[in-house]
Chain A
Amino acid sequence: MLRFTIRRLLQAIPTLFVLSVLVFAWLRSLPGGPATALLGDKATPESIASLEKIMGLDQPLYLQYFNFLGRMLSGDMGNSIISADPVLEEIGRALPATIELSVVALLIAVLLGIPLGYLSASYRGRFFDNATIMGTLAGVAVPVFFLGIVLKYVFAQELGLLPPSSRQDADIDATRVTGFATLDGMLTGEWDATGNALWHLVLPAIALSSIPLAVIVRITRASVLDVLNEDFIRTANAKGLQATVVRTRHVLRNALLPVSTTVGLQTGLLLGGAVLTEKVFVWGGLGSLLSEGIQRRDYPRLQALILLAAGVYVLVNLLVDISYAIIDPRVRTS
């Protein structure tokens, strides 16, 4: 198992290296630049050129890349051009926001998706099944940002029931410990801060969970149907095993194998969805950092974010492979 894990980790290194080159080259190929964005409306061609020189942006691209690589390998990803904070500090501050949102969205998706998929398969062809299929089609088809805007318009602007944006109210005076707004309130006993943070989570988490929820329902349903038709289920039923035992120990366990793969993939995709959701709900997480970074050509921030996202994606897939290996021992030897 250890060798399997190490092998997969080593395979990730060239992937990340190639990605760093691509990200670096892509950012520099974009028209405009950080000096123009930083200097704002009053910029003159001379002041832009001067600032580019100070920033080292007048150097040949390969030199800029090696400088960047050198700094990165020594753990210095630079400071954000927008906020002037170290990008790792910025990411450390934004990461809990994204994790908090993604985890809640994923929990909604998994906790609702698996039972709904299982029930849908159990009631195949009946009203519940048809309604679920229709619902999941809508869930996959409606873009996250659009759903977010609609939810916000209805529940925040028109009904005034839920907050329209951000992680907590502006006048909340909360102590920051971990950066997880919900957790910090629990740790410090500021329960209203926790409640406020949870309340702010409702709309963005529902919006973000829509696609993974729909996908998990569909995959669970299809997988359960496949397993229900297997010979060993027929055998289990024939030998008189209790229906609950057949469902949980045989049907669900086997059906969850592709579902766990889907959950892993959806976690990666969730980050993509989080960019849009965070934009709509002004969430202040990684997605907000990314969109602001693109808008203002914040090279250090974008480089760090994209490489981090790639690293997380690689890691999550690795964890999925490991979970595969745990669930099905044949994978380890293949």
Chain B
Amino acid sequence: MAHSRTARRRWTAAIGLTGVAVLALSACAESERGTDDASGKTGGTLIFGAAGKPKNFDPIFNDDGESFRPIRQMYDTLITYKRGTADLAPGLAEKWDLSDGGKTITFSLVQGAKFHDGTAFDAAAVCFNFERWFNMKGAAAQSQMIYYADIFKGFAQNEGDASGTPLYKSCEAKDANTAVLNLNAYSSALPAAFGLTSFSISSPEALKKYDADAVTQSGESFAYPAYATEHPTGTGPFKFESYDKTNNTITLVRNEDYHGEKAKLDKIIFKIIEDENARKQELKAGTIDGYDYPSPADFKSLKDDGFDVLIRPAFNIMYLGINQANTPALKDIRVRQAIAYAVNREQLVKTKLPEGAEVATQFQPKTVAGYADDVTKYPYDPAKAKDLLKQAGVENLTLKFYVPTEVSRPYMPNPVDYAAAMTEDLKAVGINVETVPRPWNGGYKDDVQKFGKHDLHLLGWTGDYNDAGNFPGTFFGRSKPEFGFDDKALFDEIAAADAVVDATAHADAWKQVNRNLLSKYLPAVPISHSPPGIVVNKKIKGLTPSPLTDERFDTVTKD
């Protein structure tokens, strides 16, 4: 039987508004039902505005936030993140130990956990998942395992993008609660990357029952099996109930058998509303309780209207990229330094970026190990910029500045505005700028990252896990058309830092990389760290914003 809570208010209003008989009759019917069940600290339904449709619900085949949001509520990872930070915390593994130079990881698992289908979570289930990922067949399936390919480098048989030597060697269930993972080599990404939602643990029985590996591809499109679309089965605090594609809602219900502290809410409904303005209107109309990524321009008005705008700690970087391949002058570090001094980043952050944004001094946020306080800094100094250009013998320099349009990212909410300000700064020191706007999904990334058509460009990155290798290592660890340089010394330096196992030495090695990146190489100009927001109404309590956008709703209550 249908029931609607938020409808009631409208029905009441409807009676007075219109004389359309059928509507008035329906209104009366609804008003009498009285379905308000969202009172008190436990129970109730959270309706959250999602910005897009999930691709599917099988964690391993996803890499985007809109898919991860519902998945995170249904699944657990072996290691998770301490709420509100990027620091590692126990998940399905109570503890983990690295041995053999980081090539063996021993997980001590929680006891008593069960999958949503009632089967037990144990070491055998963990190894089943690792084996499944490693032995995944078919280019179609492998091509969808973005994070697995990135972290574990290769499969038993590489059929898609991955071409490296597999990191995975074997997994052994020593006893019910101890899983030992053996790797072919040490990876600095691990164990931090075990917190990635992609590496959530699924029920082996459900994976088998619903043919989870049967990803097929025809023409340009992919199709996912029933496990990924209708039967996601994890151990998380919420269980999958339905995905109503007619009304664009995903409904999860509380897992009463959860091994940890049970979720407070009875139900979560993710309502997919792609337009940011529409999400805001829905919040204001009271038809949703919150939504993600409010525009920074709305932070103040939302607060003024009585909503809680929760600011996530920034875990991202926006940079002004420099391509050294097209314009010879850019090979000269003095010219790149001139660009860095010419851009008034302090002013930009103060006037154009959201509250809480900071000027970036290096290519990673402070919270990531390897951040160096003593890197070479480039404060706004147009005179010095002019002087450096003069020293380099550069006159009438004209640069093509590629700017992404029709896009807003957490690290660059309004790139067109930032590019306009930077263009003026560069012109002020005598650099001619030819702005080339390109739609984000209309060729910008191809032009910049694939073809390297630009001299300057705006781009950024939101971190996946807490390791410097996921920031500067990702940008500058190898030759790319985006930056147009091929400097073996730098690549070796980064590879060496990445290979250090001891945590303190690892951080120290990255500190040195960061120092050198800013003083010796300067392949780009770090601009800012920008904190994305999440907004909820006053009834919602207990939501902790995560720098990794890893919000869990199990602690949330609705008054």
Residues of chain A touching chain B, judged by Cβ–Cβ distance below 8 Å, are: 30-34, 36-37, 39-51, 54-57, 67-68, 71, 76, 78-87, 93, 97, 152-153, 156-157, 160-176, 179, 181, 185, 188, 190-196, 198-199, 279-282, 284, 288, 292, 295-297, 299-300
B220 touches A292 (CB 8 A): no
Within the complex, which residue of A36, A42, A179, A196 is in contact with B441, where a contact is CB–CB below 8 Å? A36
Question: Is A45 a contact of B450 with CB atoms below 8 Å?
Answer: yes
> B221: which of A78, A170, A192, A195 is its contact (CB, 8 Å)?
A78
Q: How far is the CB of B392 from chain A (nearest CB, A)?
A: 30
A51 touches B161 (CB 8 A): yes
Bound together, the chains give a CA A85 to CA B139 distance in angstroms of 19
25 contacts between A and B (CB under 8 A): A32-B442, A32-B444, A40-B64, A41-B461, A51-B160, A54-B139, A76-B218, A78-B221, A82-B55, A87-B221, A152-B281, A160-B13, A161-B14, A162-B10, A164-B285, A165-B278, A169-B5, A169-B6, A169-B7, A170-B287, A173-B3, A195-B11, A195-B22, A284-B248, A300-B221
B374 at interface by CB-CB < 8 Å: no
Complex: A42 Cα to B481 Cα, angstroms? 15
Partner of B53, one of A31, A48, A83, A93: A83
A163 to B3 Cα, complex, angstroms: 16
The range of chain B's interface size is: 35 or more
The reply to whether A195 and B30 contact each other, CB–CB distance below 8 Å, is yes
Q: Does B449 sit within 8 A of A, measured CB to CB?
A: yes
The distance in angstroms between the C-alpha atoms of A194 and B26, with both chains bound, is 8
Contacts A152-B281, A157-B281, A167-B247 known; list 9 others, CB within 8 Å.
Answer: A40-B64, A45-B480, A54-B160, A84-B229, A93-B245, A172-B247, A195-B23, A196-B7, A199-B23
Query: Which segment of B115-123, B268-276, B491-499 sits at the interface?
Result: B268-276
Verify B13–A55 contact, CB threshold 8 A: no
Q: Are A82 and B53 in contact (CB under 8 A)?
A: yes
From residue A172, how far is it (CB to closest CB) to chain B in Å?
5
B151 to chain A, nearest CB (A): 12
In the complex, the 7 A-B pairs of residues with the closest C-beta atoms, listed nearest first: A195-B26, A31-B443, A79-B221, A50-B161, A190-B2, A193-B2, A170-B271
Inter-subunit contact B23/A93 (CB<8 Å): no
Set A32, A166, A295: member contacting B247, Cβ < 8 A = A166
Given A31-B443, A169-B7, check contact A300 B219 (CB 8 Å).
yes
- Quick one: closest B residue to A52, CB to CB? B220
* A40 and B160 alpha carbons, distance in the complex (Å): 17
Q: Pick from B6, B221, B444, B461 the residue with the most CB of A within 10 Å.
A: B221
Whole-angstrom distance between the Cβ of B556 and the nearest chain A Cβ: 16
Q: Which residues on the A side are within 8 Å of B449 (C-beta)?
A: 43-45
What is the CA–CA distance of A32 and B11 in the complex, to the nearest angstrom? 46
In contact, A199 and B439 (Cβ under 8 angstroms): no
Interface 1/0s, chain B 216-228, versus A by CB < 8 A? 0111111110000
Q: A31-B446, A80-B221, A165-B281 are in contact. Are A192 and B273 (CB under 8 A)?
A: no
Chain A residues, Cβ within 8 Å of B462: 41
CB nearest to A193 among chain B residues: B2
What is the minimal beta-carbon distance from A224 to any residue of chain B, in angstroms? 28
Of B1, B150, B217, B274, the contact of A282 (CB 8 Å cutoff) = B274
A176 surroundings in chain B (CB, below 8 A): 244, 246
Is the pair B273, A166 in contact by a Cβ cutoff of 8 Å?
yes
Q: Which residues of A contact B443 (CB under 8 A)?
A: 31-32
Cβ contact within 8 Å between A68 and B11 = no
Decide yes or no whether B323 CB sits under 8 A from chain A: no
Residues of B within 8 A of A (CB): 1-7, 9-11, 13-14, 17, 22-23, 25-27, 29-30, 33, 45, 47, 53, 55-56, 63-64, 139-140, 143, 146, 149-150, 160-161, 217-224, 229, 244-249, 269, 271, 273-275, 278, 281-282, 284-288, 409, 438-439, 441-447, 449-450, 461-462, 464, 480-481
Contact in complex: A32, B445 (CB < 8 Å): yes
- A71–B13 CB distance below 8 A: no
CB pair B445–A192 under 8 Å, yes or no, is no
Residue in contact with A54 in the complex, picked from B217, B246, B480, CB distance below 8 Å? B217
In the complex, residue of chain A having the shortest beta-carbon distance to the beta carbon of B438: A31
Q: Which residues of B contact A163 (CB under 8 A)?
A: 10, 285, 287
With a CB–CB cut-off of 8 A, which chain B residues contact A188? 2
In angstroms, how far is the closest chain A Cβ from the Cβ of B145?
11
Question: With the chains together, A297 CA to B439 CA distance in Å?
Answer: 12
In the complex, chain B residues whose CB is within 8 Å of the CB of A164 = 278, 281-282, 285, 287
Contacts of B9 in A (CB 8 A): 160
Given contacts A79-B223, A156-B285, A165-B278, contact A181 B246 (CB under 8 A): yes
User: What is the chain A residue whose CB lies nearest that of B47?
Assistant: A170
Q: Which of A45, A97, A156, A279 contacts B281 (CB 8 A)?
A: A156
Instruction: Please indicate the chain A residues that have their CB under 8 angstroms from the CB of B269 in the complex.
Output: 170-171
Contact A57 B450 (CB under 8 A): no
CB closest chain-A residue, reference B1:
A190
For A50, the closest partner residue in chain B by CB is B161
Query: Is B246 a contact partner of A171 (Cβ separation < 8 A)?
Result: no
Contact yes or no, A279 B275, CB < 8 A: yes
Tell me whether A84 and B285 are in contact in the complex, defined as CB-CB below 8 angstroms, given that A45-B449, A169-B4, A195-B26 are known contacts. no
A158 CB, nearest partner CB in chain B, Å: 9
**A39 CB to closest chain B CB, in angstroms?**
7
B287 contacts across to A, CB distance below 8 A: 163-164, 169-170
Chain B nearest Cβ from A32, distance in angstroms? 5
Pick the contact of B1: A51, A71, A152, A173 (CB < 8 A).
A173
List of A residues within 8 angstroms of B244 by Cβ: 176
Report whether A170 and B278 are in contact in the complex, using a CB–CB cutoff of 8 Å. Answer: no
Contacts of B273 in A (CB 8 A): 165-166, 282
Interchain CB contact under 8 A, A93 and B246: yes
CB–CB A192/B284 < 8 A: no
Cα–Cα distance between A2 and B324 once the two chains are bound (Å): 70
Of B7, B14, B224, the contact of A84 (CB 8 Å cutoff): B224
Contact in complex: B441, A37 (CB < 8 Å): yes
Instruction: Tell me if A42 and B13 are in contact (CB < 8 A).
Output: no
Q: Which of A97, A281, A284 has the most CB of B within 10 A?
A: A284
Minimum Cβ distance to chain A for residue B251 (Å): 9
Look across to chain B and name the residue whose beta carbon is closest to the beta carbon of A40.
Answer: B64
A325 CB to closest chain B CB, in angstroms?
36
Set of chain A residues within 8 Å of B229, measured between Cβ atoms: 84
**Which of B13, B22, B285, B450 meets A198, CB within 8 Å?**
B22
Complex contacts, A179 vs chain B, CB 8 Å:
246
Residues of A within 8 A of B63 (CB): 39-40, 42
